[in-house]
């Protein structure tokens, strides 16, 4: 039976993220108004970035869900990387705003207003983020969606930010050290920067057509190795990942005396087994006669004219 998570489109979860982002932003804005805490203001600013990021994730997932067309023969799944990269950039902007506000308040410390009520609102908002983050992380991992994983990480960063703010407000209230509030805000800014940089790195790697993870490559090689007993060797194995989609290209070396029909039959089996072993995979095979020396010389990405580069 197909699980409910697979029955719903990814945009369903993007809408869930957007709803949570709007609710938590409004709650944290209220907490800041109640307390006038720079830490809570920092938390609210990060949640505002969550709202923008959720809009972008929703748009990118809508584009990624579109089927291939004449201009995009391999589909639109790479749109998810733009969402992850934009989220990383927004996180960095939020961190800069938090740092700037914290420095100003650190130079001019101020007492907090009604911290108990503000803390209650902030904890409630964090519970919303924690629950939604868990859902997005699970679905993002199951369906290999970098946009949902980025959104989950973004929300989880928000949860840790809120936890630090809660601790800071409690300490400030108990000790009267008003400078501790902006100090925590400044430390959180550095933590948020690290998260944003990591998201930008993942997005960059995806847009650069990075190959499959080693675990996936092991599965691919095991499928190909099973055909050695039938007299089929392989080389020029190339892979890449585009969000939820995986691409595998390989050259199959067979006896030249085989008929085209026999070679095609085996190539078709190889492609089918690769797609079954790695769901979401598109496999391409190229048949070559193993006796021809030229068959062993085209493992580079681009073919060169005969004699090119020879001395």
pLDDT tens per residue across span 26-71: 988 888 888 877 777 777 776 777 777 777 777 766 766 666 666 6
Q: Looking up tokens 């902007």, which residue turns up? A: 93
pLDDT at 206 over 70: no
pLDDT for res 77: 63
Say if 4-207 and 214-296 have the same CATH topology: no
Reported as a single tens digit per residue, the pLDDT across 81-115 is: 676 677 677 778 777 777 777 777 677 766 677 77
User: Which CATH architecture group holds 214-296?
Assistant: 2-Layer Sandwich (3.30)
Find the mean pLDDT for residues 158-186: 78
CA distance 123 to 165: 10
pLDDT at 310: 41
Rounded-to-integer distance, Cα 273 and Cα 79, Å: 28
pLDDT digits (tens, 9 = 90+) for 141-158: 787 777 777 778 778 877
Residue 238: in which H helix or E strand, if any? strand 233-242
Nearest Cα to Cα of residue 77 among 64, 59, 62? 64
pLDDT at position 302: 53
> 4-207 maps to which CATH number?
1.20.1510.10
Q: Give the start-to-end residue ranges of the domains of the chain.
A: 4-207, 214-296
């Amino acid at each position: 039976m197909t699980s409910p998570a697979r029955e719903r489109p990814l945009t369903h979860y993007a809408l869930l993220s957007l709803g949570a982002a709007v609710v938590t932003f409004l709650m944290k804005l209220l907490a800041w108004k109640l307390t006038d805490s720079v830490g809570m203001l920092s938390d609210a600013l990060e949640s505002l970035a969550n709202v923008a990021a959720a809009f972008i994730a929703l748009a990118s997932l809508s584009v990624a869900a579109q089927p291939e067309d004449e201009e995009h023969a391999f589909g639109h799944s790479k749109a998810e990387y733009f969402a992850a990269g934009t989220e990383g950039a927004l996180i960095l902007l939020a961190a800069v705003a938090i740092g700037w506000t914290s420095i100003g308040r650190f130079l001019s410390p101020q007492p907090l207003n009604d911290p108990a009520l503000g803390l209650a609102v902030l904890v409630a908002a964090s519970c919303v983020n924690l629950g939604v983050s868990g859902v997005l992380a699970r679905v993002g991992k199951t369906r290999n969606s970098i946009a949902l994983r980025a959104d989950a990480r973004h929300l989880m960063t928000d949860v840790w930010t809120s936890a630090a703010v809660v601790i800071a407000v409690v300490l400030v209230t108990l000790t009267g050290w008003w400078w501790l509030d902006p100090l925590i805000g400044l430390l959180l800014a550095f933590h948020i920067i690290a998260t944003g940089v990591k998201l930008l790195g993942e997005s960059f790697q995806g847009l650069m057509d990075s190959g499959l993870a080693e675990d996936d490559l092991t599965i691919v090689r095991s499928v190909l190795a099973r055909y050695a007993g039938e007299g089929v060797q392989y080389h020029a194995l190339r892979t890449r990942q585009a969000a939820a989609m995986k691409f595998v290209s390989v050259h199959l070396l067979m006896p030249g005396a085989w008929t085209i029909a026999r070679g095609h039959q085996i190539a078709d089996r190889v492609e089918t087994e690769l797609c079954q072993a790695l769901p979401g995979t598109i496999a391409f095979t190229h048949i070559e006669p193993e006796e021809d020396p030229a068959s062993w010389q085209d493992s580079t990405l681009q073919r060169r004219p005969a004699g090119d580069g020879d001395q």
